[in-house]
Chains A and B, each alone.
Chain A
Amino acid sequence: MITGNFEYHQPGSIPEAVALLSKLGDDARVIAGGHSLIPTMKLRLAMPEHLIDLQAVKELRKISVSGGEVCIGAMTTQAELIASEELHKAAPIVRETSLQIADPQVRYMGTLGGNVANGDPGNDMPALMQCLDASFTLSGPDGERTVNAREFYEAAYFTARDDLEILTEIRFPAYSGGYAYEKQKRKIGDYATAAAAVLLTKGADGSCEQASIALTNLSDTPLFCEEASRQLVSDGLDSASVNSAVASAMGQIDPVDDNRGPAEFKRHAAAIILRRAIQQAWARA
């Protein structure tokens, strides 16, 4: 399994990386942890002539929490997300999700930025970021801009990121309410057959004050379930309203037959997983 030939570049800063990418254009790909890109290159589904490795860009490797906002550099690895107590206090759903991604070796290398920028519907972080209402910072030749995670994904491997932009930062509000990331997979290391991220805030009177639901690998993009989330807030968490919210979310999914099972099976699994995630999040709220 040998990849095509390429030239290797290792810029030391964001401006340097952006300038390199602008200069090399379509022939170049940015590499973060490489655990999606290298396998794709081995299969020659990707044959970039230049690889721009971001490992030496120190400012991309950070986790900070201040003023109720979490800011994570794109090159922060899953292992670093898991290990950070500060992040765990600010948004415990992140560790829960990261631990369900791939295996230990992959989590030492795999990055948050790579996971969200790749646009693979199988990746777990995109739905989580939609659930957390995250925004992504993109740096390109014309400067910086910010795109909301809920508007970032257009189709499988197509995102709002321009080819000449680099995703540098992920920001989202700290969230200490009830949370759950539930994932059905065939085995450790596999992508989800179905997965759901749920955040629920319980008010002093026991009502659901805030709800956010997003789904992984059930369409060609991650799915933020706005209507289902709204329903939980307006109708509460009794079994009839949970059924109705799950049904609403299921109306959004569009799974396809593949080696993880026929679409009908995935619909069945998705409803169970979402229900479990809602129950778990509510129990923790």
Chain B
Amino acid sequence: MINPTKSYKKTFIILLITLVFVFIVNLSLGSVYIPLKQVFLALTNGELEKDSWGSIILSVRLPKAITAIIVGSGLSISGLLMQTLFRNPLAGPFVLGISSGASLGVAILILGGSFLGANITSYAFTNFGLAIAASLGAFLVLSAVMIAAQKVKNTMSILIIGLMFGSLTSAVISILAYFGSASQLQQYMFWSFGSLGNLSWKEITVLCVAFLIGISFVIFIIKPLNTLLLGENYAKSLGVNVKKTRNLVLIATSLLTGVITAFSGPIAFIGLAVPHLTKLLFSTSNHKTLIPAVAISGAIIMLICDSIAQLPTSEYTLPINAITSLFGAPIIIWLLVRKRKVYY
């Protein structure tokens, strides 16, 4: 018998070519336009027309493009995992309170400075300072959610607990914001807009390592994730250790989203929307297909959003969070209206 499982080789090849194309275009666009051919030469250590182009690409645009790929893939995969685990189309990478935890950490660092009365400010606002505050916050809130998760049997309850922690932290942030000064507020707002740039190669290495560890967890839960599509009881009857799978999903997601949020801020929408977009494109629920598909699509969409956010040939850069939602939401709405219904 021929395996009737559809092969998506063609779609994957098209997606990969698109990824490479978008990547190169992303490198060529910016405040200064660099021709595609020169981008190629810069990447392959060739002779360039202008020396400055080489350093623009290698030390500014390349790190940013790589960050975009990791952020896009990581958030999208996390979103997919959450949607399968909770069997809820509204679940995203941030339902476990990771983004609210990170926001809380940063809010306490920036806005809470006046409360603490400390002079940590000048040192603390470096990238690593913010990243550490965000990580600590995310880790604390996530641990609270995980401890609660061990107590409850029902997976849905974890979702609600995560959302409740989110409400709690945003309440604390509101109070901090109320007492904060205008300049502190602005600084906090800038962080919450999200940003892909400004990462050094050292920081990107940290990001890459965390990404690879997260992905390797994901590869080993593809099989139980497919079984979970039948519901927890069937999964159990098929020999799946549901609790262990749930914990692995939570660990992989928190690692991916936690580190990404720490370095690039709470980037909205991608984690929720890309899995939907991919499911519409592939119309499958099989994670063997969906995981790589979501990873590539996430990277492509993040690169496109970043290219738009830079407002090519101008000096200005728009907040990446605004772009992801501004362009993503209408596309999802259009696709849903056209296809009528999505199945998970």
**Do chains A and B stick together as partners?**
no
B contact set with A: CB distance below 8 Å? none
